[in-house]
Amino acid sequence: MSDSRANILKWFVIGLFVVLGLRLFQIQIVDRSYRRAAENNVLRYEVQHPPRGEIYDRNGEFLAQSVASYDLMVVPRNIPKDRGFDTVALARIAGVSVEQLTRSLQAAKNYSHSRASVVVRQLTTEAKLLFDEGSFDGFYTLFRTQRSYPRKIAGNLLGYIGQVNDKIISRNPYYSRGDYIGYSGIESAYEDILRGEKGEKVSVVDVRGTVKGPYQDGIYDRAPVAGTPITTTIDAPLQQFAEELMEGKVGSIIAIEPSTGEILVMVSSPTYDPDELMGRDRGNNYVKMLDNPRQPLFNRAVMSSYPPGSTFKLVNGLIGLQEGVVTPNRRYPCEQGYHVGRGVKCHEHRSPLNLKEATANSCNAYFCYVFRDILDNPTRGGVMKGGYDNWAKYVRSFGFGEKLGSDFASERGGFVPTSEFYDDYYPRWNSLTVISMAIGQGELGCSPLQMANLAATIANRGYYYIPHVVKHIEGRDSLDSRFYERHYTMVEEKHYEPIIDGMWGTVHRDIGTAGVAYVKGLDICGKTGTAQNPHGKDHSTFLAFAPKDNPQIAISVYVENGGFGSSVAAPIASLLIEQYINGEVTRPELAQYIKDMKIAYPNYEKRK
């Protein structure tokens, strides 16, 4: 062989080794996909799900907590093909039928033969121990937690959690298939805080999927971080009592601490046991609730828009005082109604009345006079040239017509019509056209939260704090700054006393409309309302605060189809005020009477 051919062969061999060396370098060092493919045959990467943060009431009592649970997982390719597994035994341990287990396993195979899938969710600790005693190659359990609600109250307030859908996964990289997320209430509003941070566990497994131990002594493991606990403003015993009083009725109750804006009670009735939306029966229970014409999943406390009824007379009285169109001692006559234009009827009472007496008696005629004087005020250009817009501006300063900014994402803002709204409906309109708003009827729409906020605003003599349901978040010194800011109305403090005196008279004087709400020593100030309902019996509403000086609680009760404000709403409010301030009720027979009261739902039954 010539030297030249030998050199060629030598360099060819050298070049071949160089190429092979470079390829091995690429495979082993640069391109790690081959290494990962090998590792996937012997390593199992498990997401470690954190427990959600606990939710407490204002006194540290559990409202929602996380308890141990396990998901039964499977890697289909690791199930022995020669002998399979004991389907009957595994179904019995998991608490499902053989058919259900077979369907879940087939779905897992359709998803992936090599990736883990959930076969059965939410195994108990006892079921997990039984599983560990058996031999089910290809299956394993993954630690999870699920919610538990010790008092079984405040369903709409707390909200519920459920599995994420594809839309949520595409929007937020934190979530993946099979994860849970808060869908309503506090669980949704504070999801980022409650959910915690996921961890990861890397284990060595054999070809049958049996865990042999942690990979490299667990140096690549990452522990999950539990969700942050939240302390709410809710008084759990008071919340439970309120729900008992509202059983068999449709409506809502909201109670607020005026000095802070903290929500003490939030009831939407009918409500539901939050445990019903957890566990294996969650899907069936959810469908039943959706089909229920009384809509237990609908949070009326923040989402409904009701006519406020006569409780709104307080706002018109305050605006009239600020505008100077009425004084506390000015009297107006009432002959069972206001008989101008279409007119507004009124119940029988003595006449004429001043502002305090008209408030205590809930005189429709008196507030029709006041309302028209506000709108037709010549210093404001009359109703068509600014009088109405000026009135609406006052009303919005009380928090009506827009969201208050609470920590409920589902909060709605109600409706205060603009002058443009009426321009679209009437070629010419005047104060008589909209006279029904003098008594809180017509196009006005207010949420129960806004009405409770009105009670707190009057209790504070002209300002409010944005109502909120979270008191403290662990690890934080304070809440969002908006919850500490005072929001003042356009009515000066000095004008509130005549209205408050009238509210005191509503409950304390023989002429008042809510003597049933009287509790000795509590100085309850209240206002009844009977809101017209075109679909059936009128709605019963009542707002109040107590004591008159240095108020501790402000409350609004709204009972659909309940009739007069004094018949249902007022006694409910007074019982809750007494329970909160005194720690007990002195009228157990009244409480039992209200609990036993069931009110028909004609406007809901028709939807069936």
Tell me how far the alpha carbon of residue 578 is from its chain's centroid.
26
The superfamily CATH assigns to domain 236-605 is DD-peptidase/beta-lactamase superfamily (3.40.710.10)
- Phi, psi at residue 554, to the nearest 5°? -125, 140
pLDDT in tens, 219-249: 888 989 999 999 999 999 999 999 999 999 9
Give the number of other Cβ atoms within 10 Å of residue 97's Cβ: 11
The pLDDT of residue 3 is: 62
The pLDDT of residue 572 is: 97
Q: How far apart are CA 290 and CA 288, in angstroms?
A: 5
CA separation (Å) from 543 to 254, 275, 306, 526?
A: 10, 32, 14, 6
Tell me how far the alpha carbon of residue 147 is from its chain's centroid.
16
CA separation (Å) from 268 to 120, 457, 585?
A: 34, 22, 22
Q: How far apart are CA 446 and CA 440, in angstroms?
A: 10
DSSP letter, residue 468 = B
> Mind giving me the DSSP string for 546-582?
ESSSS--EEEEEEETT--STTTTHHHHHHHHHHHHHH
> Which architecture characterizes domain 43-83+91-232 according to CATH?
Alpha-Beta Complex (3.90)
- What is the amino acid identity at position 369? Y
Which residues, listed in sequence order, are joined to residue 446 by a DSSP beta bridge? 306
The pLDDT of residue 21 is: 63
The pLDDT of residue 12 is: 63
- In sequence order, the 6+-apart residues with CB closer than 8 A to the CB of 507 are 514, 515, 517, 518, 524, 525, 526, 544, 574
- In sequence order, the 6+-apart residues with CB closer than 8 A to the CB of 499 are 314, 317, 318, 321, 355, 359, 458
Q: How far apart are CA 597 and CA 599, in angstroms?
A: 7
Tokens of 113: 């033969």
H-helix segments, 1-124: 3-25, 33-40, 87-94, 98-111
Tokens of 275: 């445990």
In contact, 413 and 474? CB cutoff 8 Å? no
Q: How far apart are CA 250 and CA 559, in angstroms?
A: 6
Tokens of 486: 């005072």
**Residue given tokens 């679909």 in the structure block:** 535
Q: How far apart are CA 505 and CA 314, in angstroms?
A: 13
Peptide bond into 270 cis (omega under 30): yes
The pLDDT of residue 608 is: 41
In contact, 248 and 597? CB cutoff 8 Å? yes
Tokens of 117: 């899938």
The pLDDT of residue 34 is: 46
Tokens of 34: 């081959």
Low-confidence residues of the chain: pLDDT under 70:
1-13, 15-41, 207-210, 384, 509-511, 601-608
DSSP letter, residue 27 = I
CA separation (Å) from 184 to 188, 194, 297, 410?
A: 5, 13, 9, 8
In contact, 236 and 579? CB cutoff 8 Å? no
The pLDDT of residue 409 is: 80
Tell me how far the alpha carbon of residue 369 is from its chain's centroid.
39
Domain boundaries, the chain: 43-83+91-232, 236-605
Q: Is 43 helix (H, G, I), strand (E, B) or coil?
A: strand
Give the number of other Cβ atoms within 10 Å of residue 336's Cβ: 13
- In sequence order, the 6+-apart residues with CB closer than 8 A to the CB of 292 are 270
- Nearest Cα to 556, choosing from 548, 564, 568, 545? 545
CA separation (Å) from 278 to 28, 143, 576, 592?
A: 48, 16, 30, 31
